[in-house]
């Protein structure tokens, strides 16, 4: 390889390595700030690395699984309450006053945005359904005992909105 | 070792090779995308949770994965062009950029239309969505840098450096869903273990991914040939070609 090409090869490679280095340091420094949401455990016990807890009145996002059997719906309005938990055992309550997304089910992942109140209750202004990477035909899901029923809204519930 | 490759650095040979490859890429692209799309939209089973809505995956995932593959292709061409100063490689990089940008836009757009009914929102600033948007901006940057210099050697160098620097975004997009908590779910197609999808959904999806790859290849070849002609308009072989084509 002639010296000029060699020099350019070294320069170009150094550029790639340098940028990769800067980016990894940057991302490492930002690490937990790039997470979209708090997990329920982080709200109850604080973040694992820093111990920082979100304050009451702070606007945050919470992500986790809707606890099966925790969903309580007001029959006359859109008000719903449910609990969200994660694998580490934390659990918080979420209240919400609007239509839930189609994929919202007990046992499914969600991300809720809202204001944290006293006693680890999140007053959500937005609830987003998180879906996992698993796809399967309904027959297979039924055979595996997975529930996939959508929430039904009654006329009184939808007309009050 | 690479001696057999050297003749193709010559614009005329590169132009002719691109012309020879073009029909193969086009036929494969057309065949694969037709098969994959019809199979995916009409014959693949529905999903247990999303019903028929999940079928947008047959466009969204191929577009998203190929937007990254196209970027890698562009960056490798730019790297070769920069180090070995092969103009044909610079032209190849410049030809891929607009195609990659459109594919990235398709991935973002189909993702948003899928996100609205399923997640409940068009857009959320999570790591995956944001890094894919950065990819679109990188493509746009490369396109505008290449377009803004009158001297195309200089233009290719500037655009090439940006393309190479931007490579760092590719692993960030790929692993964003594993490194950080995000609304976007992790990959369904896994290379080292069994994919989280039954075979009758996976096969049309893979067919479409390869189909999109071939389509990007075919479009790149068309643009590459045009770029070669535009950059070599004064060369005798191009003039001869123009005269022959004009006479026919």
Question: Which tens digits make up the pLDDT trace of B18-46?
Answer: 999 999 999 999 999 999 999 999 998 88
User: What's this model's pTM, rounded to 2 decimal places?
Assistant: 0.87
> Model confidence at B82, in pLDDT bands (50, 70, 90)?
very high
Question: Which tens digits make up the pLDDT trace of A88-137?
Answer: 888 889 999 888 887 888 888 899 999 998 888 899 998 998 888 888 88
Question: Which tens digits make up the pLDDT trace of A9-58?
Answer: 888 889 889 988 998 888 888 876 778 888 888 888 887 777 778 888 88
Rounded to an integer, what distance in angstroms lies between the CA atom of residue B22 and that of residue B28? 10
Question: Which residues from B are below 8 Å from A141, CB to CB?
Answer: 48-49
Task: Give the mean model confidence (pLDDT) for residues B226-245.
Answer: 89
What is the per-residue pLDDT for A151? 63
Contact with chain B for residue A29, Cβ under 8 A: no
What mean pLDDT is reported for chain B? 91
Question: Which segments of A are annotated as binding site?
Answer: 131, 135
What is the per-residue pLDDT for A161? 46
What is the per-residue pLDDT for B246? 74
The whole-angstrom distance between A75's CA and the closest CA on chain B is 22
B188 and A129 in contact by Cβ < 8 A?
no
SS3 assignment, position A17: helix
> Model confidence at B15, in pLDDT bands (50, 70, 90)?
very high
Question: Which residues from B are below 8 Å from A130, CB to CB?
Answer: 119, 183, 185
State both tokens at A114: 């809202």
| Burial class for A159, CB neighbours closer than 10 Å (0-12, 13-18, 19+) | exposed
What is the per-residue pLDDT for B233? 85
What is the per-residue pLDDT for B96? 96
Question: Which residues from B are below 8 Å from A126, CB to CB?
Answer: 120-121
Rounded to an integer, what distance in angstroms lies between the CA atom of residue B7 and that of residue B82? 18
Contact with chain B for residue A140, Cβ under 8 A: yes
Given a cut of 60, whether residue B248 has pLDDT beyond it is no
A135 and B46 in contact by Cβ < 8 A?
no
What is the per-residue pLDDT for A27? 85
What are φ and ψ of residue B150, in 5° steps?
Answer: -70, -40
Q: Indicate the range of A123-132, B1-10, B56-65 predicted with least confidence.
A: B1-10
3-state secondary structure chain B: CCHHHHHHHCHHHHHHHHHHHHHHHHHHHHHHHHHHHHHHHHHCCCECCCEHHHHHHHHHHHHHHHHHHHHHHHHHHHHHHHHHCCHHHHHHHHHHHHHHHHHHHHHHHHHHHHHHHHCCCCCCCCHHHHHHHHHHHHHHHHHHHHHCCCCHHHHHHHHHHHHHHHCCHHHHHHHHHHHCCCCCCCCCCCCCCCCCCCHHHHHHHHHHHHHHHHHHHHHHHHHHHHHHHHHCCCCHHHHHHHHHHHHC
What is the separation of C-alpha B52 from the centre of its chain, rounded to a whole number of angstroms?
Answer: 27
Of B50, B83, B117, the CB nearest to A8: B83
Rounded to an integer, what distance in angstroms lies between the CA atom of residue B48 and that of residue B142? 42
Contact with chain B for residue A111, Cβ under 8 A: yes
Helix (H) or strand (E) holding A119: none
What is the per-residue pLDDT for B5? 78
A5 and B84 in contact by Cβ < 8 A?
yes
Of B83, B118, B168, the CB nearest to A19: B168
Rounded to an integer, what distance in angstroms lies between the CA atom of residue A16 and that of residue B168? 8
A103 and B168 in contact by Cβ < 8 A?
no
Q: Indicate the range of A16-20, B162-166, B183-187, B189-193 predicted with least confidence.
A: B189-193
What is the per-residue pLDDT for B149? 92
CB pairs under 8 A between A and B: 121
- Structural domain boundaries of chain B? 16-241
Torsion (CA) A6, A10, A13, A18 in degrees, nearest 10: -170
State both tokens at A76: 């006359």
- Furthest C-alpha separation in chain B: 63
Question: Which residues from A are below 8 Å from B167, CB to CB?
Answer: 16, 19
Contact with chain A for residue B226, Cβ under 8 A: no
> Model confidence at A157, in pLDDT bands (50, 70, 90)?
low
**Residues B180, A33 contacting (CB under 8 angstroms):** no
Question: Which tens digits make up the pLDDT trace of A64-91?
Answer: 888 888 888 888 888 889 999 888 888 8
Question: Residue B85, by phi and psi: left (phi above 0), alpha (psi -120 to 50) or beta?
Answer: left
Contact with chain B for residue A142, Cβ under 8 A: yes
């Amino acid at each position: 390889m002639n010296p000029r090409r060699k020099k350019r090869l070294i320069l170009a490679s150094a550029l790639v390595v340098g940028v990769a280095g800067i980016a990894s340091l940057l991302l490492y420094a930002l690490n937990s700030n790039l997470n979209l949401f708090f997990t329920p455990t982080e709200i109850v016990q604080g973040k694992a690395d820093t111990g920082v807890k979100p304050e009451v009145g702070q606007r945050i996002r919470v992500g986790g699984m809707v606890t099966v059997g925790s969903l309580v719906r007001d029959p006359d309005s859109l008000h719903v309450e449910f609990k969200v938990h994660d694998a580490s055992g934390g659990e918080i309550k979420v209240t919400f006053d609007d239509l839930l997304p189609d994929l919202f089910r007990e046992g499914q992942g969600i991300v809720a945005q809202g204001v944290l109140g006293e006693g680890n209750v999140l007053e959500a202004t937005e609830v987003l359904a998180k879906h996992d990477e698993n796809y399967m035909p309904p027959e297979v899901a039924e055979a595996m005992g997975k529930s996939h029923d959508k929430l039904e809204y009654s006329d009184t519930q939808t007309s009050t909105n | 070792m690479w001696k057999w490759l050297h003749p193709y650095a010559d614009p005329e040979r590169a132009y002719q090779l691109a012309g020879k490859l073009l029909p193969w890429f086009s036929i494969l692209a057309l065949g694969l995308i037709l098969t994959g799309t019809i199979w995916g939209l009409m014959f693949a089973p529905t999903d247990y949770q999303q019903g028929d809505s999940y079928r947008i995956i047959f466009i969204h995932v191929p577009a998203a994965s190929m937007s990254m593959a196209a970027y890698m292709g562009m960056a490798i061409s730019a790297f070769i062009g920069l180090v070995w100063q092969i103009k044909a490689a610079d032209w190849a990089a410049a030809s891929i950029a607009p195609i990659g940008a459109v594919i990235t836009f398709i991935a973002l757009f189909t993702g948003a239309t899928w996100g609205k009914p399923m997640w409940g929102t068009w857009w959320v600033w999570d790591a995956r969505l944001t890094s894919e948007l950065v990819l679109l901006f990188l493509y746009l940057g490369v396109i505008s840098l290449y377009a803004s210099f009158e001297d195309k050697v200089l233009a290719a160098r500037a655009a090439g450096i940006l393309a190479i620097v931007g490579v760092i975004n590719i692993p960030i997009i790929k692993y964003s869903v594993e490194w950080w908590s995000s609304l976007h779910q992790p990959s369904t197609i896994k290379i080292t273990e069994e994919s989280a999808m039954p075979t009758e959904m996976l096969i049309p999806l893979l067919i479409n991914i390869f189909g999109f790859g071939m389509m990007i290849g075919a479009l790149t070849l068309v643009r590459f040939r045009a770029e070669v002609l535009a950059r070599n308009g004064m060369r005798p072989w191009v003039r001869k070609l123009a005269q022959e084509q004009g006479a026919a």
